[in-house]
Chains A and B, each alone.
Chain A
């Protein structure tokens, strides 16, 4: 198991697993688990104390978490498909021939966005292909793809009823165009840490220190 190999090379006092593989890790490594929702709330509050809303767009889902003092008050997740997730961006970037890093920066170079109507990853991909075939500017297509995810995220945030300060975490927060468009649509600042993809890991680590203290006392 890959995790074990990585762990063997590290020294640590205690272990907590989070994310979709948490139960798998628990079965092999005999450690406590927490959901990534709790982990993101705790992690975001640690990095940006006082944060009230966490937006996490990861590889296979996106979530909006309402936070108070590092605790989850409410949350919403996208439904079961890849629409509005990092995976969606990745597929579209590949179709346009961009690397993940280029995708956001190229999309920022234009203000015109091609309209992408479908939210389904498969149908959007064919939409992008026909836009390329029609000679549409790749930067505009990239911008349109970003725009369509932002639209989806905005309605998710509306359902929870977000408050500021907002922390944007997960791998997709590294995408500058996503941050720009989100801030524009929300009319609010989103805080992104230096390494947004480890916010959940920080939260899990915080839970680990807490559970360790509980064991000791």
Chain B
């Protein structure tokens, strides 16, 4: 028995079923990410983060808890990590991206809700998630109906993300942030001090800057990194310890800069440049990026929660008091253009900016099945893309492999249109 197996056993997990899960994820990884050629050397670390997400990272969290830290599971990029970290808690995003656990989720949850929730809950219900047993607090939010009702079942702390963007809504969001601060203080028994909070704000800003730098390089034609590898980095960002993550990302960025100077890329010059816009692709899910890049196009930017929405906009660090800092955090997080808002014009403005700065040739709107927000908003996105004379393809899909044949045909036909 390996050390990890012993750990999983002690956590009360179904170790045999968990092995099957890891085999299934490995298989998908090897067929998609692993099958790529000309990957940068620095990507190894991020592959390692994904592979150790149920092993080394969990052992690290168990160790930290022994030393008095608390572990918080989150499910949305609206939860401000800075506050949790300032109170000596460790936040980790726990969204599931694997098809394997979905049947276990469907044992209890309705079939007709999004695969992300079913996969996440399936990991817990199938006793194949090592994070559940060590979690000191789960934090949910109100970005969609299926999530809201899920939090009722699992009894999480819920941050109220407003549905509109007026002053009234901002005040509500500010209150939700204050409440979250109180909640983590109560959990850890430590006060969120202005000095410590300014440190964690700096840590997260550094992390965002490194991600911005990575994505800046994807503007180059051809980009020095594939869209699939950039996604691996993003998926690692949601799991890894932020300071260490930033350090390794800076190394990767340095390597990519050199590659770009030498004109080296995984793609030949003139490769079609595609933007993915819509829903996140979390760990275990490499489906659409892989289909696009296997058809000889490159994904050059993701306007998703595992893309620009995660790293654009920094938190104002010129603040002194706790009150000012919380306000700066509220402002930064309110700028995440989630489709739960009505209206959500800022997302359209952001897309218009991205298609120009990244010189994209076409947009794939990636919608997770039953994600009504992004699915309906796709109409408005299509409108602005039409005005910009850009081909756009809407794909509504889940994590399963059953529709890959049809998706391949649709993606190929979409890419033929760009010629």
Contact = CB atoms under 8 A, between A and B. Distances in A.
Our verdict on whether A and B bind, yes or no, reads yes
B405 interface: yes
A126 B413 CA distance: 36
Interface stretch (A35-43, A98-106, A109-117): A35-43
A35 B412 contact: yes
B67 interface: no
Contact of B417 (A36, A61, A72): A72
B404 to A, nearest CB: 10
A80 B416 contact: no
A71 B417 CA distance: 8
Contact of B416 (A20, A23, A34, A61): A34
Contacts, number: 31
B405 A20 contact: yes
Contacts of A73: 417
A37 B407 CA distance: 13
Contact of B406 (A38, A72, A75, A77): A77
B285 to A, nearest CB: 18
B112 interface: no
A35 B406 contact: no
Interface in A61-95: 61, 71-73, 75, 77, 79-80
Given A72-B416, A72-B417, A37 B409 contact: yes
Which interface class (under 10, 10 to 19, 20 to 34, 35 or more) fits B? 10 to 19
A77 B403 contact: no
Contacts of B261: none
B410 interface: yes
B413 A38 contact: yes
Contacts of B417: 71-73
Nearest to A73: B417
A137 B403 CA distance: 37
B405 A72 contact: no
Interface residues of A, number: 15
B10 interface: no
A61 B405 CA distance: 11
Contacts of A61: 406
Interface in B393-419: 396, 402-403, 405-406, 408-410, 412-413, 416-417
Contacts of B409: 20, 35-37, 77
B12 to A, nearest CB: 38
From A34, A35, A38, A75, name the one whose CB has the most chain B CB atoms within 10 angstroms. Answer: A35
Contacts of A36: 409
B288 to A, nearest CB: 15
Contacts of B402: 80
B413 A80 contact: no
Contacts of A80: 402-403, 406
Contact of A38 (B396, B405, B416): B416
Contacts of A20: 405, 409
Interface of A: 20, 23, 34-38, 61, 71-73, 75, 77, 79-80
Interface of B: 396, 402-403, 405-406, 408-410, 412-413, 416-417
Given A34-B416, A72-B413, A77-B410, 17 more contacts: A20-B405, A20-B409, A23-B408, A35-B412, A35-B413, A37-B409, A37-B410, A37-B416, A61-B406, A71-B417, A72-B416, A75-B410, A75-B413, A77-B406, A79-B396, A79-B403, A80-B406
28 contacts: A20-B405, A20-B409, A23-B408, A34-B416, A35-B409, A35-B412, A35-B416, A36-B409, A37-B409, A37-B410, A37-B413, A37-B416, A38-B413, A38-B416, A61-B406, A72-B413, A72-B416, A72-B417, A73-B417, A75-B410, A75-B413, A77-B406, A77-B409, A77-B410, A79-B403, A80-B402, A80-B403, A80-B406
